[in-house]
Structure 1
Amino acid sequence: MPLFRVQNWDDAYANGANIPGGERWPEAWVQPAADFRTVTGKRAELDIAYGDHPREKLDLFFPVGEPRGLFVFVHGGYWLALDKSYWSHLAGGAIGHGWAVAIPSYPLCPEVRVADIVRSVARSVAMAAARVGGQIRLAGHSAGGQVVTRLLCGGTGLPDPVAARVDGVMSISGVHDLRPLLRTEMNETLGLDIREARAESPALLEPVIDVPVICWAGAAERAEFVRQNALLANVWRGLGLATETVEEPDRHHFSVVDGLAQEDSPMTTILFS
């Protein structure tokens, strides 16, 4: 039986360089997001401060009529890049199902640590939850997948009454074990050490919030993202949680989030059914 060892960890976690036409992202998201903000108009509240840091702001989008609940989407970018403005259009699917949608920005490494980002996002969820009633569902892409699943493990400052309203989580191409990143050049900027990598890896922790967790990745992603996706669902199922692993055909690391923009996509349907 042939054995496989990762020889190049930077390549294993490099997305754009391994996707045909990958240089189009993240700019490919800018115009659809801007158009969505224009269309939603008065049904959006932008740049709501949820903390003292200049990047601690969120956008809140509302459906027509009373919201069924609150959906929070946490963006990726390896904890190093991007902000809420790239992703507004991804609120479309949830809004179509009658949910309000919060999309926060957060401080980035190396100014802060990964652990600080998780706590910042916890504050954003609490702020949005104070404005929108009902159940809360969380989703995050890539680094955002680590953040939303880490929120289930306690010690993040998420208030207990808010945590009690969370009834489902989707990690989209999430990085659930941070230890491999210690071997990458990006860690010179991330600044992870083994202690923090272990403490902030959801796959190494026990969740204290017992809700269904869907781990969703594109079947055409880098092998490490497919492995990380299945890893969390496997480990947490062994801890008693209801989990599901999905590998969506013909989706890569950037296109895999497109389903959130569409009311009738498989991703949105499973999230809001």
Structure 2
Amino acid sequence: MSAVDYEVEYNNRARVPEHPALIEGWARDAAAYRAQHAPRRIAYGPGNRHSIDLFESGEGPIVVFIHGGYWQALDGSFFSHCARGLNAHGVSVAVPSYDLCPEITIADIIGQIRDASRELARLGRPLVMSGHSAGGHLAACMLATDWPAFDASLPKRPVMSAYSISGLFELAPLVETSINRALRLDAAAAEAASPLFWRPPAGTALDAVVGETESAEYHRQSRAIVEQWGAAGVATRYGVVAAANHFTAIAPLADPDSAMVTRLRELARG
């Protein structure tokens, strides 16, 4: 038995008691930004949640922000304000929503984000994937996807790079936690959905950053993919968001002058 208490390490809401106020703040700030900068709505499937809010600002590559919530909570409407920092510099940002566990599986969600990415790629603009928590996992999955096998009509590499904030890349530690009640992962499904074990997308770039006060497991996860993918030819970086917890780690996205926005601009320039 592992000496690590995974329930404690991965229960972010218990680790950050003030999380309800922080999530309410997301919703408030997101609504205010949508009122200021109305997005273009793009459907990528038939369901109510199969949509993308595209906050347009410039004609270059699109940065995609994929929301978190342990694949079982929230939607893109909580995160519209995460487009503010990049929009201020003329970079367009797309925020997709997706169906949630337990109604579907994590493998299904990966497929939905691939569908959303395909719809965006059809606009003829390269994509930079970013995401928070479960969204960080999905961003890495998109970078490592074999796109020609998924859809031969797409460019060979529609996704240029990825920037994961508090991402999860190895899902086995979640299997014995309360988080798995909705995910319904067994060992095989957890491994299959873990991009740490996928073929590293050599020739691309991945940044994995974590809030300074997050659990040791979150830091381990990001260091692991940086080391493993980096050894296989991916240009990787590990970073820390100073003084941030799991819920405040995304705050720099709304600040045009933040180091996070500066780095995403660099990735968008290729």
Could you tell me the TM-score, scaled by structure 2's length? 0.92
**1:253 aligned partner, one-letter code:** H
Partner in structure 2 of residue 45 of structure 1: 40
Alignment pair present for 1:28 and 2:29: no
**2:66 aligned partner, one-letter code:** V
Native 8 Å contact 1:154 1:207 kept in 2: no
Deviation at 1:135, TM superposition (A): 2.4
Structure 2 unaligned runs (5+)? none
Deviation at 1:186, TM superposition (A): 1.8
Deviation at 1:5, TM superposition (A): 2.1
Residue among 98, 104, 120 paired with 1:128: 120
How many angstroms apart in 2 are the aligned matches of 1:162 and 1:100?
20
Native 8 Å contact 2:142 2:159 kept in 1: no
Give the secondary structure class of the aligned counterpart of 1:245. strand
Query: Identity of paired residues, percent?
Result: 35
How big is each residue's C-alpha offset from its partner over 1:242-264, in whole Å with a ceiling of 9 and x where there is no partner? 10000121011011101111111
Matches within 5 A, 1:122-271: 122-131=114-123, 133-154=124-145, 158-159=150-151, 161-162=154-155, 164-208=157-201, 210-271=203-264
Deviation at 1:88, TM superposition (A): 0.1
The alignment yields a C-alpha RMSD, in angstroms, of 1.8
Residue among 51, 64, 73 paired with 1:57: 51
Native 8 Å contact 2:62 2:125 kept in 1: yes
Deviation at 1:67, TM superposition (A): 1.9
How many angstroms apart in 2 are the aligned matches of 1:258 and 1:15?
16
Give the secondary structure class of the aligned counterpart of 1:256. coil
Give the secondary structure class of the aligned counterpart of 1:224. helix
How big is each residue's C-alpha offset from its partner over 1:87-133, in whole Å with a ceiling of 9 and x where there is no partner? 000001221221211101001111111011011011111112223x4
Deviation at 1:208, TM superposition (A): 3.7
Native 8 Å contact 1:75 1:84 kept in 2: yes
Give the secondary structure class of the aligned counterpart of 2:59. coil
How many angstroms apart in 1 are the aligned matches of 2:190 and 2:178?
15
Matches within 5 A, 1:46-85: 46=41, 48-63=42-57, 66-85=58-77
How big is each residue's C-alpha offset from its partner over 1:127-147, in whole Å with a ceiling of 9 and x where there is no partner? 12223x432111011001111
Structure 1 unaligned runs (5+)? none
Residues 52 and 210 of structure 1, relative CA distance in 2, 3 Å threshold = farther
How many angstroms apart in 2 are the aligned matches of 1:125 and 1:192?
25
How many angstroms apart in 1 are the aligned matches of 2:53 and 2:91?
14
Residue among 108, 123, 127 paired with 1:116: 108
* Paired residues, number: 263
Give the secondary structure class of the aligned counterpart of 2:108. helix
How many angstroms apart in 2 are the aligned matches of 1:67 and 1:260?
20
**2:131 aligned partner, one-letter code:** G
Could you tell me the TM-score, scaled by structure 1's length? 0.91
How big is each residue's C-alpha offset from its partner over 1:150-203, in whole Å with a ceiling of 9 and x where there is no partner? 123335775453452322210110010000001101212111111111111011
